[in-house]
């Protein structure tokens, strides 16, 4: 049975875990919502690298997973290279904004990228655009407030409240005439269906949302296929981990139940 750890600043990476479980059924999973380090999108690069180094060390020490998915665009862009250098024997998969497929699909020659403040500014995104979208216009839009909404308020929000949160961002991108919207923050996948519903009301089928969750899941499956399964495991684990001290915000228990994970515990 394969064992895979998933790491995000909070609950944003849960859709990536869900996609991976569909492609790789039966794997043992440890999902770390780094609520003590939340949010990653406003951290300096050096600070975030230190946080990630600590979290990965603790995950490997306790669970010895076969692979790790950094289910966060900001963490992947800023910390993936240093983590791989520190753990050369350990498969670490990052999440990459889906610039390439969006650039290939656009009909208008304009795509929008919704991301955290750090992701929008990071040179990694600029290089990704230069490599895969140099001949089109890319509108980069920081949506940091939407991260906090998803983390803290999404679970008990109404469809109307969620539409109110996404509307300013989507309206801005539509004014720029984009026809593909890249969700370059994993938290935004929780409101992807809300975005699609809003788009269906005002933009018909001309504007599509693009993300990387299935690409990451397929890449994980490829990497695990080349690994030896962890022989010692006799039953599937589905742990939900936090980095703060208990008592935990009750919201996290709801998130864990929603995605079929155990009750929250401290890493």
- Output 157-163 pairs: Cβ under 8 A, ≥24 positions apart: 159/194, 159/197, 162/191, 162/194, 163/194, 163/197, 163/198
> Looking at residue 245, what DSSP letter applies?
P
Residues 6+ apart with CB under 8 A from 122: 45, 74, 77, 78
Which residues form the catalytic set? 72, 185
Which residues face 266 on adjacent strands?
242
How big, in percent rounded to 5, are the helix, strand and coil portions of the chain? 50, 15, 35
State the Cα–Cα distance between residues 166 and 190, nearest whole angstrom: 11
113, 97 contact by CB (below 8 A) = yes
| DSSP H helices in 10-72 | 14-23, 45-63
Q: Using DSSP, state whether 96 is helix, strand or coil.
A: coil
């Amino acid at each position: 049975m394969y064992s895979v750890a998933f790491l995000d600043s909070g609950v944003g990476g849960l859709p990536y875990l869900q996609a991976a479980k569909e492609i790789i059924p039966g794997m043992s999973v440890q999902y770390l919502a780094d609520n003590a380090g939340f949010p990653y999108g406003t951290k300096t690069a050096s600070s975030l690298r230190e946080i990630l180094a600590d979290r990965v060390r603790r995950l490997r020490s306790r669970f010895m997973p076969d692979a790790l998915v950094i289910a966060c665009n900001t963490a992947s862009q800023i910390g993936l290279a240093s983590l791989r250098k520190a753990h050369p024997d350990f498969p670490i998969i990052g999440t990459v904004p889906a610039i390439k497929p969006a650039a290939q699909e656009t009909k208008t020659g304009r795509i929008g990228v919704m991301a955290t403040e750090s992701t929008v500014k990071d040179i990694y995104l600029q290089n990704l655009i230069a490599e895969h979208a140099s001949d089109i216009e890319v509108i980069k839009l920081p949506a940091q407030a939407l991260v906090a909404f998803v983390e803290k308020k999404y679970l008990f929000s109404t469809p109307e409240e969620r539409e109110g949160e996404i509307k300013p961002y989507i309206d801005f991108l539509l004014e720029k005439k984009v026809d593909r919207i890249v969700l370059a923050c994993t938290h935004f996948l929780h409101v992807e269906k809300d975005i699609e519903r809003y788009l269906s009301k005002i933009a018909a089928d001309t504007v599509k949302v693009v993300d990387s969750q299935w690409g990451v899941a397929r890449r994980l499956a490829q990497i695990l296929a080349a690994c030896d399964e962890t022989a010692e495991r006799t039953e599937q684990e589905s742990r939900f981990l936090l980095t703060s001290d208990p008592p935990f915000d009750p919201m996290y228990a709801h998130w864990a139940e929603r995605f079929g994970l155990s009750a929250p515990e401290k890493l």
